[in-house]
C-alpha cells in the first residue's frame, strides 16, 4: 500500500469506530495474523483472539461519553492515530485519557498495532 491508500484506510477505519462500528472496522481492516499490544503488556496474537478481546472490552463499557481523533500520521506501511476517550468501565471505573495507536500495515490490513497511553 502507498501512503495515500494507508491514509484513506485509516480514515475509514477511524470513521467506522466513531460511528459505533468497532467490530465491523476490525473485521475489515485487521490481518488474520494481527498482533495487538497495550503499552508494555505481552501482545495478543491472531485476529480471533483480538476480536474476543475487543468484544470483552465493549461488554464492560457501562457508559460511553465520547471518542475523538486528535490527529493521524502516515508513513511507509505505518500509521498512527491519536485518540481521546471518555467512558466508564465495569472494572476500571471512569476513564478519560489520550491514547496513541501505532499501526503497521501488510497486504492492505493492520498486522501489528500498539496502544500507548498513561495508566
Q: In which band, very low, low, confident or very high, does the pLDDT at 70 lie, cut at 50, 70 and 90?
A: very high
What is the model's pLDDT at position 119? 67
What is the model's pLDDT at position 14? 98
- % of residues, the chain, pLDDT over 90: 99
Element spanning 10, H or E: helix 3-18
* Domain spans of the chain, in order of start: 3-117
Quote the DSSP letter at residue 43.
P
Sign of CA dihedral 86, 92, 94, 100: negative
Confidence check: pLDDT of 115 > 80: yes
Mean pLDDT of 9-25: 97
Predicted confidence (pLDDT) per residue in 47-68, tens digit: 999 999 999 999 999 999 999 9
What is the model's pLDDT at position 46? 99
Tell me which CATH code domain 3-117 carries. Answer: 3.10.450.50
pLDDT, averaged across the chain: 97
Q: What is the pTM of this model?
A: 0.94
Instruction: Decide if 106 contacts 86 (C-beta within 8 A).
Output: no
Amino acid at each position: 500500500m502507498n501512503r495515500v491508500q494507508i491514509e484513506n484506510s485509516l480514515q475509514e477505519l477511524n470513521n467506522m469506530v466513531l460511528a459505533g462500528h468497532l467490530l465491523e472496522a476490525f473485521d475489515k481492516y485487521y490481518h488474520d495474523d494481527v498482533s495487538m499490544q497495550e503499552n508494555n503488556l505481552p501482545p495478543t496474537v491472531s485476529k480471533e483472539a483480538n476480536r474476543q478481546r475487543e468484544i470483552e472490552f465493549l461488554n464492560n463499557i457501562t457508559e460511553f461519553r465520547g471518542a475523538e481523533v486528535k490527529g493521524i500520521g502516515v508513513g511507509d506501511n505505518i500509521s498512527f492515530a491519536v485518540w481521546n476517550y471518555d467512558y466508564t468501565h465495569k472494572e476500571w471505573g471512569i476513564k478519560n485519557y489520550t491514547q496513541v495507536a501505532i499501526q503497521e500495515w501488510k497486504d492492505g490490513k493492520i498486522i501489528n498495532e500498539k496502544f500507548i497511553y498513561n495508566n
